A and B are shown apart, each in its own frame.
Chain A
């Protein structure tokens, strides 16, 4: 017997004596994350309905579109370095790039808390005994890989620039003239903005900007920037959720418009 049932500890036969609804938060987290994973998997393999030519909308799940199989107009300046097929298997363009946002979120310090609690129950909630016999944390493969978070952060910044570009080019009408705004351009802009807030509030960003310093006083500019990032960092959890929802909604919106289910309304 280990943990709270160890021989020297107070003899209490319950795993927790908490009386509040401690199970609600991990349950909600699990439900939302698993829903997102199922939807994202479906969309990643769908390989269709990710581009609306008339409105210049591309789904964030498929941008940048790097495959030869990409719809004309969905690529960035026609740059398609990846073959349409691998081992005679049609490769969805989403599968080429989704590893980066997926890796960024999987190794994110907030999401780690969220899925360790809700998926792995390690622990399910504070003061609630976990069901596992052994625990080694992030000291061994594969969880040692969490230390690669910074590399996904850097890749995420590149994607943010591309998704911002996607949002900017969506401010055009069907004839390609600038200065027009549709619901789609707002959706892509909000999605890109949320992703920037999520990335800039990231703990790795905070560390890179100034957190690794020993002498703040010797680096006043980096200290100022670190202070600003720290304000954002306090809301990293919120930005993690907002950006997830914004990206998912942007993809749903583009898909619905691409299939003809919704019409992309132009304000002007």
Chain B
């Protein structure tokens, strides 16, 4: 059954902007992206919104709904009360371009800074083999749809613009963890660079990235904390460090 929904949509650009009130019809089962599209079609023809799959798999329609970073296509209108106003804003950690669209290029720059997988030199293409239990570990991280909600909610950059230079963010910590846990990756010093170049030590594990992940990746427990422990192995544990000098241990 259709009902009227009160929306407050942020409109503007990098110079100025504000929240605009609008009332729009919502049908049963619709998501916030549906009603934004209806506003765009009927009342705000020039409203900018980024979207693509409408199935929670492309990561395009990331925005903040009642102050929480969420995918608009996965947020049911029915999850809000009948009298509740739904406030929709662009991601607040990134520069705004127009209305609900932000410039997320920060993330692509950070992606380029993470060294790629390095294949063993003694294995020709097609010869590499992995056991399923080794594959499973990194498969969780491969579920990432790059919606950048974790990057948006992370207070290290959200609340401190100046940290963007030295902090890769949770999305790229799972990438680094995935590679560091890869049995065949030959690149050395991933742990060291995670700490010294990608800013792993700046994370204070408050788990907001895990809370907002639409793919339910356990970013903190399965990637960031294991990486912090691996960094402790090589930088803050003299016994482990000595062990690596006496005999070559796995995992460095």
B-binding residues in A (CB < 8 A): 2-4, 6-12, 16-20, 109, 112-113, 116-117, 122-123, 126-130, 132, 134-139, 143-144, 147-150, 203-204, 206-207, 211-218, 223, 233-234
Contact = CB atoms under 8 A, between A and B. Distances in A.
B21 interface: no
A206 to B, nearest CB: 8
Contacts of A135: 155-156, 159-160, 163, 202
A123 B208 contact: yes
Contact of A137 (B203, B208, B231, B235): B203
B251 A137 contact: no
A102 B161 CA distance: 34
Contacts of A128: 67
Contacts, number: 168
Question: How many of chain B's residues touch chain A, expressed as a range?
Answer: 35 or more
Given A2-B162, A4-B159, A6-B161, A214 B204 contact: no
B205 interface: yes
A263 B185 CA distance: 63
Contact of B205 (A112, A126, A127, A148): A112
Given A122-B206, A127-B69, A203-B229, A214 B251 contact: yes
Interface of B: 10, 12, 14, 16-19, 64, 66-69, 84, 87, 89-90, 92-96, 102, 130-131, 133-134, 137, 153, 155-156, 158-163, 180-183, 185, 199, 201-208, 211-212, 221, 225-226, 228-233, 235-237, 250-251
B201 A150 contact: no
Contacts of B69: 126-127
A223 B136 CA distance: 12
B173 to A, nearest CB: 13
Contact of B131 (A8, A203, A211, A216): A216
Contacts of A138: 201-204
Nearest to B166: A139
Contacts of A214: 180-183, 185, 250-251
B204 A17 contact: no
Contacts of B206: 113, 116-117, 122-123, 126
A12 B92 contact: yes
Contact of A123 (B12, B93, B130, B155): B155
Contacts of A139: 199, 201-202
Contact of A126 (B90, B130, B208): B208
Q: What 6 A-B pairs have minimum CB-CB distances, sorted nearest first?
A: A137-B202, A18-B67, A217-B131, A17-B67, A126-B208, A8-B95
A127 B183 contact: no
A204 B19 CA distance: 46
A130 B155 contact: yes
5 contacts: A4-B158, A17-B64, A122-B206, A137-B199, A223-B133
A124 to B, nearest CB: 10
A204 B208 CA distance: 21
Nearest to A149: B232
Given A4-B158, A135-B156, A137-B202, A212 B183 contact: no
Nearest to A145: B236
B14 A8 contact: yes
A129 B19 CA distance: 19
Contacts of B84: 19
Contacts of A130: 155, 159
Contact of B134 (A129, A207, A217, A233): A217
Given A4-B92, A126-B212, A216-B131, A109 B225 contact: yes
Nearest to B69: A127
